[in-house]
Structure formats: structure tokens, C-alpha cells
Amino acid sequence: MNSFSGKKVLVIGGSRGIGAAIVRRFTSAGATVVFTYSASQEAADAVAKQTGARAARVDSADRDAVIEFVASCGPLDVLVVNAGVVVFGDPATIATDAVDRLFTVNIHSPYFAAVEASKRMPDYGRILIIGSANGDTVPFVGLTAYAMSKSAVQGLARGLARDLGPRGITVNVIQPGPTDTDMNPAGGPMEQMMLAGLSIKRYGKAEEIAAMALFLAGPEAGYVTGSIQSMDGGMSG
Ligand code: NDP
């Protein structure tokens, strides 16, 4: 496993699910990790206690708070923007405020966090955004706003990869498929619908996504940038 000893990592949204697995993986590899959360204080405290990472309550829906917090972290070797929300529903009736919030958390926050981090990031730093297979494919109704937000971060990675390439900084998106977390629990009412379009007929594990994050943040991935890495059991294949 790559060693991240001496490296500073910020995970936006690290209290639960995929983000918590990423915090665990980077701390196990020796990194100094800070992570944010917005609501799940108990879960955040547990992850912090278990891993030695530092937790900070910063709502990704608050643009200025995100920018201020990223700036306060100083130079980061790795930024992972994981926090995301999903709102299902008929676009004709879905609450407009919920859609606005989704766009703020899933699109605006990755943009502002990545840009702010890039200002202080040393050469050869790494920026990772957790997107979704729904950035490429929308297998059922009710996902328009979510899918739109996850397509948007593809453009963020492709654009910022160009802007930061001269400094050797890479910017990539990981696109999970159905992954067993609070957001999308295996065994839940959506399971059959989720598995229908997959080649590998099971839910993904948060630890699998974290392993890809560690690889992309490591020295062997220095030539991977502006890329969209699917880890979705074949959903988008
Ligand atoms: P969970 O809902 O299980 O966890 C979400 C994490 O993000 C929590 O730590 C949560 O912290 C944090 N978060 C959410 N909103 C905010 C906010 N406003 N400010 C700060 N932190 C926030 O989700 P997953 O682990 O399943 O998803 C993680 C990412 O992976 C998301 O971007 C999601 O879209 C994506 N994804 C997930 C898939 C799945 O099947 N699970 C499939 C494809 C993509 P808190 O509770 O404290 O708010």
C-alpha cells in the first residue's frame, strides 16, 4: 500500500458511508486527515475517535463556510469531495428548494472547495470528486436533478485538470454504482431495481471506492487526470 505519511488530506463529507471509508483508508496509510460533516455528529465523533482524524462541522450547502474552512486547512496534498445528497421525484412536483440545495451541495461545493484548495496545494497534489454512475446513465425515473449534478462534476474535473496540469496536480472523478451505505442500503426496497442493470449483481462496498481513491491519490496515478473512473458493477458499461 502507498504510504501517505506526512501528507495532509481533507475529506469533505467524511462522517458516514463512502466518506468515512475514505477517511479510514487514508489514516491507515499514515496520512493526517481532516474531514467535514454537517449533521451526524455522533458518527463523526466515532470516526474521529477510531482513526485519529479531525472532524469539523461545515455544511457543504454554505459556500462561504466551505471556502473559509478549506482555506483554513492550509496546503493540502489531497482533497476528496465526497459529500453529496440525493433527491428522488417527479421533476414537475419536486420541491424547488430541495433541488437548489442538491445543486449547491453536489455542484457548487465541489467547485469552490477544489478551486480554493488548488490555491495552496503543492505541485503534484490530488483532487478527487465522488460523482456517480448516474453522471453517465440514468436507468430509472426520478433522478433528473441528481444525475445532472453528477454530470456537472465531470466538467469540473476535465476543466480543472487542464488548469492545474502545469503544476502536476491531477483532478479526477470516481463514479460509484449502487454502494451499500445509508444513502442506498443493500437489502432496501430499491435493491432489485438497482441490481437490474449491473453485470456484477451485488452492491459495491464503500471500502472498494476508498481503495480507488487511495490509488488515484498515490504516486502511481500521476498520469491520470481529467478522468472519470467508473466503479459501478458495470452499470454504465
Ligand atoms: P451517505 O448519505 O451515506 O453519506 C453522506 C456523507 O456526506 C455523510 O458523511 C454526510 O455527513 C456528508 N454530507 C451530506 N451532506 C452534507 C453537507 N451538506 N455538508 C457536509 N457533509 C455532508 O452517502 P454515501 O456515502 O452513499 O455517498 C457519498 C457520495 O457518493 C455522494 O456524493 C453520493 O452522491 C455518491 N454516490 C453514492 C452511491 C451509493 O449508492 N451509495 C452511488 C453513487 C454515488 P452528515 O450526515 O454529517 O451530513
- Domains of the chain (ranges; CATH) run 8-231 (3.40.50.720)
Measured from CB, residues less than 6 Å from any atom of ligand 1 are 13-19, 36-40, 59-61, 82-85, 105, 130, 132, 176, 178-179, 181-184
Look at residue 1 and tell me whether its pLDDT is greater than 80: no
Look at residue 222 and tell me whether its pLDDT is greater than 70: yes
Q: Sheet with 170-176: list strands edge to edge.
A: 54-57, 32-37, 8-12, 78-81, 126-130, 170-176, 228-231
Residues 6+ apart with CB under 8 A from 138: 144, 147
Confidence at residue 190, expressed as pLDDT on a 0 to 100 scale: 85
Residue type, 165: G
Residue 170 C-alpha from the chain's centroid? 15
Contact 119, 48 (CB under 8 A): no
Exactly one of 37, 111, 146, 203 is catalytic; name it: 146
Is 146 annotated as catalytic? yes
Rounded CA separation 95/105 (Å): 16
Q: Which residue has the cell 480507488?
A: 212
**pLDDT digits over 71-107, tens only?**
999 999 999 999 999 999 999 999 999 999 999 999 9
Look at residue 7 and tell me whether its pLDDT is greater than 70: yes
Q: Using only C-alpha atoms, what is the Rg of the chain?
A: 17
Ligand 1 centre and the CA of 50: distance in Å? 19
Confidence at residue 175, expressed as pLDDT on a 0 to 100 scale: 98
Rounded CA separation 230/58 (Å): 28
Q: Which residue has the cell 497534489?
A: 125
